[in-house]
Structure 1
Amino acid sequence: MLRIRHQVDGRLAALVAEEVGRPEPGTGEVLIRTRAVGVTLPAVRKLRDAEEPVALGGEVAALGDGVTSFAAGDRVTGLCFADAYAEFAVLNTAMVSRIPDGVGAVEAVALVRSGMVARGAYEAAHVRPGESVLVTAAASGVGVLAVQYAKAGVAGRVVAAVSSADKADFLRDLGADEVVLYGDSDWGGPYDVILDGVGGDLLGPAVRALATGGRLVAFSSGGGTVDAYELLVRGASVIGFQMRAIAVGRPGLYNRRLREQWRLYEAGALRVAVHEEIPLSQAARAHTLVEQRRNLGKVVLVPPHRPTGSPLAT
């Protein structure tokens, strides 16, 4: 099977395509024949860090011992913590859910992980009726869904923050009331709630854009330092959100939110935005696209659709 491997040679790092044997599922695991692989900014930043989830859409090709909740041929999506950039990948059954009929693998990948992060970040903020909400990295796979969740909720004003003005029409079409640029002096604030998917150097300006009593939910992998004095003078707070903590630590809540997300999507209340479907062998190009923040929505890798048992390509 085709797999993309992160290779480091001195100071140079690259994503290398290689042909390897198919992995075998262990106890409580399923083997997925991937149809689509979501590219995330955390994956781009950390590449082979096994703690970073990458969404998959595909079919169950084989079951490990003790698996009774799925059958070979089921269409599923889930979170994979290692070797996700491949034609086949192994997932723990706790990270797997079925794809409803009529939903394609690409759409499922664009919706599930990104949507669950967006929903979790929004819920963590405890938005009150009429409050203003700013979403950073608003044109990302997570950002486009965070904007929609905020707009569909009780927020009074939803603003999208991005790096370039050419993303404005795209985000207004998804429901954003206004679009601001990171270079703007005050980001159009202050805001009651900021859902921050960027971190790093933008964390400071984001905190300064909070209103009195405001809450910033940090869900990016970008790190950053918060000035405690800035929080003190605003009576503001910063809340960290990680989806894996919900998926693993509170599976009941995770599954309830996932079912609700599918319902909203099927009802047309959530829209999926896919920037581009890129061949798996071109994973490096996909990473560059995401790292340079040129995407409008989700970037998805598509493995080759080779028949099971066919000779491996050279």
Structure 2
Amino acid sequence: MQAIEIQTFGPPEGLVLVDRPDPAPATGQVLVTPEAIGVGGVDAVIRRGTLGGYGFTTGFVPGAEVAGTVGAVGDGVDPSWVGRRVWAFTGTGGAYAEQAVADVADVVPLPDGLGGVDAVALGSSGPVAHFALAQAHLAAAESVLIRGAAGSIGIAAVQLARAAGAGTIAVTTSSPERGRRLRELGATEVLDRSGDGATELDVLLDVAAGPDLASWFDRLAPNGRMVVVGVVAGMPPADFGAGLLANFRRSLTFGTFSADTIPRADRNAVTAAQFAAVVRGDLSAVVHDVLPLADAAVAHRRMDAGEVFGRIVLVP
């Protein structure tokens, strides 16, 4: 099969199309032939080498999710999965390929009427937004700011905050056109990336992080909550917690969120519910572009340039 490897960490040019042996499903796994492959922000973070301490090495195949058809199953897996269209979480990698394996516990059937492209545009991002807002205890009529809202997590969070009855739904983004599209999805205030004008926020959902993370503590109301779900702008400085302590008397809360902490059954239930919502028209999966697998480096260049609204999807 053909697959994309990270042959050098750093710029997108390190992503190279290669031939690799076809994978085989191990015990408890399924083999999926993808019709669509999601390109996520975490893929770019890994490719840049930002998470070098997590054991990623050259030759790594990035990508965390695919939608396609189950072609084979490993020992201990119900053979009735074969031939079914599914969304599958492949872990931290392995999805940028013509064949992918996933634990059967990380597989969700696709409902009739949902295409693979839409499935991977929402699949992992929607549950992250759902559980991160729950961790922040967002309540009806409260204000929320979604920092870095033009990505797939931010877009899902805007829609979910609207459905939850949030009062102010503020977003940061890089252009008036993106702001217009975010308003159509439910945002009530659009700010530039500096966030100037945002104050007294009950909840701040941060996809970006980066070197100025601590400055955002000043935007929170007393008892405000910040939850970081990504580091697409880079890691914060080691002393960012000093900014939290400087606001000690305002009883602020800071947390991080990873879907790794959610039981698979709970995550899959939310994923299935969100897929059904897309079919009904109650939730939108926003696709920036669909590119061939061989153009993975093009997709990453667009992400690095900040051009992407929603998600880029690769097709084999």
Normalised to the residue count of structure 1, the TM-score between the two structures is 0.89
Task: Map 1:210-289; keep pairs closer than 5 Å.
Answer: 210-221=220-231, 222-224=234-236, 225-226=240-241, 227-246=243-262, 250-289=263-302
Distance in 2 between residues matched to 1:111 and 1:197, nearest whole Å: 15
Report the Cα distance in structure 1 between the residues aligned to 2:18 and 2:62, rounded to whole angstroms: 22
> In the alignment, what sits opposite 2:202?
192
* 1:260 match: secondary structure: helix
Matched-pair contact (CA < 8 Å) for 2:207–2:230: yes
Partner AA of 1:223 in structure 2:
M
Q: Per the alignment, do residues 10 and 145 of structure 1 end up closer, same or farther by CA in structure 2, a change over 3 Å counting?
A: closer
Alignment match of 1:87 (pick from 98, 119, 142): 98
In 1, the alpha carbon distance for the partners of 2:177 and 2:111 equals 34
| 1:231 Cα deviation after fit | 4.0
| 1:192–1:230 CA distance, 2 compared to 1 (3 A) | farther
Contact 2:5 2:61 in 1 (8 A): no
Q: How many residues align?
A: 299
Question: Quick one: which of 168, 173, 176 aligns to 1:165?
Answer: 176
Confirm or deny: 8 A CA contact 1:127 1:154 kept in the other structure: no
Q: How big is each residue's C-alpha offset from its partner over 1:243-300, in whole Å with a ceiling of 9 and x where there is no partner?
A: 1221xxx223223322322332232211111000011101001011112221111111
Unaligned runs of 5+ in 2: 50-55
1:161 touches 1:179 (CA, 8 Å); kept in 2? yes
Displacement of 1:51 after TM fit?
Answer: 12
Counterpart in the other structure of 1:14: 14
Q: Which amino acid aligns with 1:22?
A: D
Question: Could you list the runs of 5+ residues in structure 1 that have no partner in the other structure?
Answer: 304-314
> What is the letter of the counterpart of residue 44 of structure 1?
A
3-state SS, counterpart of residue 73 of structure 1: coil
Distance 2:250 2:9 in 1: 47
Which residue of 1 is the match for residue 53 of structure 2?
none
Aligned to 1:86, the other structure's residue is in SS state: coil
Task: Give, in whole Å, the separation in 1 of the partners of 2:61 and 2:96.
Answer: 15
Residue type at the aligned position of 1:121? A
TM norm structure 2? 0.88
CA contact (8 A) 1:78 1:97 kept: yes
Shift of 1:11: 9.6
Q: Which range moves more in the overlay, 50-59 or 26-35?
A: 50-59
Whole-angstrom CA distance in 2 between matches of 1:264 and 1:96? 18
Shift of residue 184, structure 1, vs aligned partner: 4.5
Distance 1:51 1:218 in 2: 26
Q: Give 1:121's match in structure 2, choosing from 132, 143, 160.
A: 132
Would you say the 8 A contact 2:209–2:235 is kept in 1?
A: yes
Distance 1:190 1:231 in 2: 13
How far residue 60 of structure 1 moved from its aligned partner, in angstroms, is 0.5
Equivalent-residue separation in structure 2 for 1:274 and 1:243 (angstroms): 22
SS at match of 1:201: coil
Aligned-residue RMSD, C-alpha? 2.2
In 2, Cα distance between equivalents of 1:193 and 1:117: 16
Match of 2:163 in 1: 152
Q: Structure 1 residues 40-49 or 269-278, which shifts more? A: 40-49
Partner amino acid, structure 1, of 2:207? G
> Residues 197 and 237 of structure 1: is their aligned pair in 2 closer, same or farther, counting only changes over 3 Å?
same
> Are the aligned partners of 1:42 and 1:52 in contact in 2 as well (CA < 8 Å)?
no
Against the structure 1 CA distance between its residues 35 and 287, is the aligned structure 2 distance closer, same or farther, given a 3 Å change threshold? same
Helix, strand or coil at the partner of 1:129: coil
1:291 counterpart residue number: 304
Name whichever of 131-140 and 165-174 sits farther off. Answer: 165-174
Question: Residue 209 of structure 1 corresponds to which residue in structure 2?
Answer: 219
